[in-house]
Structure 1
């Protein structure tokens, strides 16, 4: 195991007391504490936040657009961290899948979206910021299962130095085809970072219909 599934940080409500949990996945060169700092911008106070941390602060060594085997065995280990984390949230803390939310940025968003496409269900919500599904442009997207109207938000600057617009659009189509309710927003001439509008949209989706 390259990545340690027990190397996690938490914020917000204690897991034992929270009615919902948000898994936050950091980007390349980031850390669990970096991504957890976003929790202060989430208006909903019922959340526990949990973030795994990659070995060496990177989930896999090369671009997410490279052939998947080039990023092995790191990629499989990273996906296994999320599998393990989801299982623990369900078994140890009794969270149901609709109480589990996911947020990732950059490499963390790519890892998150790929994991969820392979493990679809009716989750609370999915927020992929500056990321897309993993693999080269001709990757067959033969995922099976349904997101059962899970709210998904994809946000990205265009052009983004790391994430081609085409990959964000392809990810939108894949998630829609799998039954997710996808909101996509592209930000012209915006750098590879998280912006205030994206956090506002996350909060709006968390608040639900007025």
Structure 2
């Protein structure tokens, strides 16, 4: 199962600061995903990047029946829940917590926040969708209260069908998120500059914390 192995960077943890949780993709690492912060407007954020055991959050495709990815999927979700609870216990409200993931990390990000919907600071998913062989709406509870969300993806993508991205967007919008999804023709399984620009514009620059 996943251990609580979290790399930190950016500002010291403080209730006045925003926190960004970054989730790497399959075969990636916490170190890799942290470098993405250099391109984001998060210089005043605390950065937290958990490391998946064996560099993968769950063994099979995100489109497999959820039971096939157990117990790793539940372990991944539990780790994120513990991270959020730890932050809340230190005086950091959920509306100051942001999420970003790429590929498998984007799928896990979207699955976690939709199972635990509330007012978050913002959510960025670079190539991802809700997890499962189909959408399981009974798993999703709460309301996002206009949390800004950006989802970027390629059409086609070798791992994430654009139809799942559209279905995910519909679920999040129905739960009160302010979602913008952008599909790039034949981009490949990567992150492009326009996605970075949209993440900054729509999510990281969308809200600011007033001085206490």
2:156 pairs, out of 159, 175, 178, with: 159
After TM superposition, give the deviation of residue 110 of structure 1 in Å. Answer: 0.5
Determine the C-alpha separation between the residues in 2 that align with 1:190 and 1:26.
Answer: 19
2:57 corresponds to which residue? 59
13, 23, 36: which is aligned to 1:38? 36
Offset of residue 17 of structure 1: 7.4
1:145 maps onto 2:137 in alignment: no
Residues of 1 paired with 2:102 and 2:22: CA distance? 8
Question: Unpaired segments of 5 or more residues in structure 2?
Answer: 208-212
Shift of 1:13: 1.0
Task: Determine if contact 2:126/2:153 at 8 Å carries over to the other structure.
Answer: yes
Length-normalised TM-score, structure 1: 0.94
- Match of 1:152, SS? strand
Moved over 2 A (4+): none
Distance 1:54 1:208 in 2: 30
CA distance in 2, matches of 1:140, 1:96: 28
SS in 2 for 1:81: helix
CA distance in 1, matches of 2:42, 2:77: 28
Q: Which residue of 2 is the match for residue 106 of structure 1?
A: 103
Q: Distance in 1 between matches of 2:35 and 2:16?
A: 18
Structure 1 CA distance for aligned equivalents of residues 65 and 158 of structure 2: 19
Normalised by the length of structure 2, the TM-score is: 0.93
- Deviation (angstroms), 1:171: 0.4
CA RMSD across the alignment: 1.2
Q: Deviations over 1:106-152 (max 9, x none)?
A: 00010110111100000000001100000013x33122210000001
Tell me if structure 1 keeps the 8 A contact 2:100–2:124: yes
Residue 46 of structure 1 and its aligned partner are, at CA, apart by 1.4
Which residue of structure 2 aligns with residue 198 of structure 1?
195
Give 1:170's aligned residue. Answer: 167
Looking at structure 1, the residues matched to 65 and 120 of structure 2 have their Cα atoms a distance apart, in angstroms, of: 29
Distance in 1 (alpha carbons) for counterparts of 2:42 and 2:54: 31
